[in-house]
């Protein structure tokens, strides 16, 4: 069992550092990738931040017990202009598996400390535990990109969803066949809604996406949206969060990923509780839920056994 909002430790007893993370199921194992924020939190300008350590990977056979596989995309300390320099921002990693080549492709938000550069970066590896080779970053098809996620659909087509043009919309971008390049903006959705932290998933022929509002490290209301296709049109179903303390503020958490369960219609939503005073002590909640169309709810639970989802 995992205690939602408690301190989660890996098999070596260390605090799990996998914030803004995503989970990949491959070869009978689960891999959890996330931001390692284990350094000191300090304020620069108006922004609370930690220096980039890199992207950590943890592996598990049951989603409960997690072995640290190391920092699979480490910071590059020597070069100040490098995207992965500790002074930068490296957030919300998601790893895809490219079936044809067997390679693993990581997409990640890359930025300068002030979030004014707005890039999506990409790295590749031959193994899910890396090491990942960093290929570089850019503004996807010319559009500034903040919070983002990447996923493959059931056919293996890759998609990037990113907050675009200063959060004025979420762009849905089809990736190149090898999953390493943005190929085409296929949807400009959530226009004017200022949504971020996108966590899409597929159910019963439809697409769903959890998102948050856009308030820095502070919490806000979640939204669940539905669409017939990844590119839209996306329609809000409202806030699905119920129970617990302040569900209308996502219990003070923010969405990051949705894992499909073993039984059709069952999922588990992953959220981060950011602690701006000590970002390395940001906590996790994982909440199993069942799809029920427009009436889908995500209920607070004090503890979770993800192996049963």
By CB under 6 A, name the one of 16, 52, 197, 258 that touches ligand DGJ: 197
Regarding 223 and contact with ligand DGJ (CB under 6 A), the answer is no
Q: What are phi and psi of 82, to 5 degrees?
A: -70, 140
Regarding 201 and contact with ligand DGJ (CB under 6 A), the answer is no
Regarding 92 and contact with ligand DGJ (CB under 6 A), the answer is yes
Closest distance of CB 186 from ligand DGJ, Å = 23
CB closer to ligand DGJ, 10 vs 147 = 147
Give strand pairing partners of 49: 42
Within 8 A by CB and 6+ apart from 109, the residues are 89, 90, 91, 92, 119, 120, 121, 145, 146, 147, 148, 162
Regarding 216 and contact with ligand DGJ (CB under 6 A), the answer is yes
Alpha carbon distance 80, 88 (integer Å): 9
Closest distance of CB 130 from ligand DGJ, Å = 22
Regarding 50 and contact with ligand DGJ (CB under 6 A), the answer is no
CB closer to ligand DGJ, 172 vs 197 = 197
Q: 298 is written with which tokens?
A: 């995500």
Alpha carbon distance 17, 146 (integer Å): 21
How many helices (H) and strands (E) in the chain?
0, 25
10 Å Cβ neighbour count for 141?
15
Regarding 20 and contact with ligand DGJ (CB under 6 A), the answer is yes
Closest distance of CB 199 from ligand DGJ, Å = 11
Closest distance of CB 272 from ligand DGJ, Å = 8
């Amino acid at each position: 069992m995992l205690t939602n909002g408690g301190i989660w430790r890996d098999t070596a007893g260390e605090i799990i550092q996998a914030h803004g993370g995503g989970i990949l199921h491959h070869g009978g194992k689960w891999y959890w990738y996330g931001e390692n924020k284990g350094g000191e939190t300090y304020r620069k300008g108006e922004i609370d931040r930690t220096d980039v350590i890199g992207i950590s990977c943890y592996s598990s056979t049951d989603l409960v017990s997690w072995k640290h596989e190391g920092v699979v995309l480490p910071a590059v300390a020597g070069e100040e202009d490098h995207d992965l320099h500790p002074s930068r921002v490296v957030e919300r990693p998601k790893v895809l598996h490219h079936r044809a080549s067997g390679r693993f492709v990581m997409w990640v938000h890359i930025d300068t400390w002030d979030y004014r550069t707005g890039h999506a970066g990409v790295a590749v590896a031959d193994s899910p535990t890396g090491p990942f080779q960093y290929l570089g970053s850019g503004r996807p098809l010319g559009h500034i990109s903040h919070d983002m996620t990447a996923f493959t659909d059931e056919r293996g087509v890759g998609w990037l969803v990113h907050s675009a043009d200063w959060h004025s919309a979420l762009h849905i971008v089809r990736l190149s066949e090898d999953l390493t390049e943005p190929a085409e903006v296929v949807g400009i959705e959530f226009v004017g809604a200022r949504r971020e932290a996108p966590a899409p998933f597929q159910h019963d022929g439809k697409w769903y996406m959890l998102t948050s509002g856009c308030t820095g490290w502070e919490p806000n209301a979640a939204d669940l949206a539905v669409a017939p296709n990844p590119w839209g049109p996306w329609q809000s179903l409202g806030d699905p969060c119920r129970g617990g303390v302040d569900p209308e503020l996502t219990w003070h958490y923010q969405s990051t990923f949705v894992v499909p369960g073993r039984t059709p219609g069952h999922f588990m939503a992953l959220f981060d509780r950011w602690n701006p005073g000590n970002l390395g002590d940001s906590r996790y909640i994982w909440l199993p839920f069942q799809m029920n169309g427009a009436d889908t709810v995500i209920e607070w639970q004090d503890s979770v056994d993800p192996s049963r989802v």
